Amino acid sequence: MIAQDHPQVVVVVPTYNEKESLPVLIEDLLALPQPNLQVLVVDDNSPDGTGDVADRFAAESGGQISVLHRNAKDGLGRAYVAGFSRAVDEGADVVIQMDADLSHPVTAIPAMLEVLRTTDAGVVIGSRYVPGGSTAADWPWTRKVLSSWANLYVNAILRLHIKDATAGFKAWRASTLRDIDLASIHSNGYSFQVEMNYRATRQGHRIAEVPIRFVERVKGASKMNARVQLESAIAPWQLLWQHRSK
């Protein structure tokens, strides 16, 4: 459980070409009735000017919003590791990870924080596949099948016992992130989500799930491609092999 009533909560949001959706997300986050909430935007040198948009919000936020500018786009995992590391180093008690494309409901954050406050969970997943959760209604059936199969595949190999093992919406205790050894994580894309879950469970941290309704992005383009899918398919076997080799 979280010891204090009002922990320092930092929402880490990686961005690459999200100048249309980022302002909406920031406004929704700042509207939450959550004390001590900060937003850290990690921008990978977006050519559409997302970093400049984030800077303008930061300048007007009185310190509630900050921006980490990275020189190159080298993957979602690297962006999250950089953001997590800064948040933890600067004293965050809880770190929330979420996409900038409005697919993750900001309204689920209070429930996720409440689970951390009242239970021993080390991380809480905003889950599409627990009762009450759902995927985007406008997803084609092929994508729904692929997503469901990916979760079955990961759990069959790594035995995580998580309904939504590939989810990218999570609330982490800072202590859990410290135990994971962020500096040694090198995976990217969706495999990053799997590796983070795997490392948390290997360190003995319980993973809880709360239901969310995942929606398809309404602005910008999906980052999913064949290379990301291949990496995600290989990653569980690599993690298993690395563990058994130690």
pLDDT score recorded for residue 140 = 73
pLDDT at 197: 94
The secondary element (H helix, E strand) that includes residue 195 is: helix 189-202
* Pairwise CA distance, residues 243 & 117, whole Å: 31
CA distance 239 to 225: 22
Average pLDDT along the chain: 87
- State residue 190's pLDDT score: 73
pLDDT value at residue 210: 98
CATH of 9-245, one of 3.40.50.720, 3.40.50.2300, 2.40.37.10, 3.90.550.10: 3.90.550.10
Q: Convert the pLDDT of each residue in 86-96 to its tens digit.
A: 999 999 999 99
Instruction: Give the whole-angstrom CA distance, residue 171 versus residue 174.
Output: 9
- 209 by Cβ neighbours in 10 Å (0-12 / 13-18 / 19+) ranks as buried
| Predicted model pTM | 0.87
pLDDT, tens digit, for every residue of 8-29?
A: 999 999 999 999 999 999 999 9
DSSP string, 94-132: EEEE--SSS-S-GGGHHHHHHHHHHS--SEEEEESSSTT
| pLDDT tens digits, 130-175 | 999 987 776 676 766 777 777 778 777 887 889 998 899 999 999 9
d(CA 77, CA 21): 20
Q: How far apart are CA 140 and CA 25, in angstroms?
A: 25
Strands of the sheet with 9-15, listed across from one edge: 65-69, 37-43, 9-15, 94-97, 170-173, 123-127, 207-211
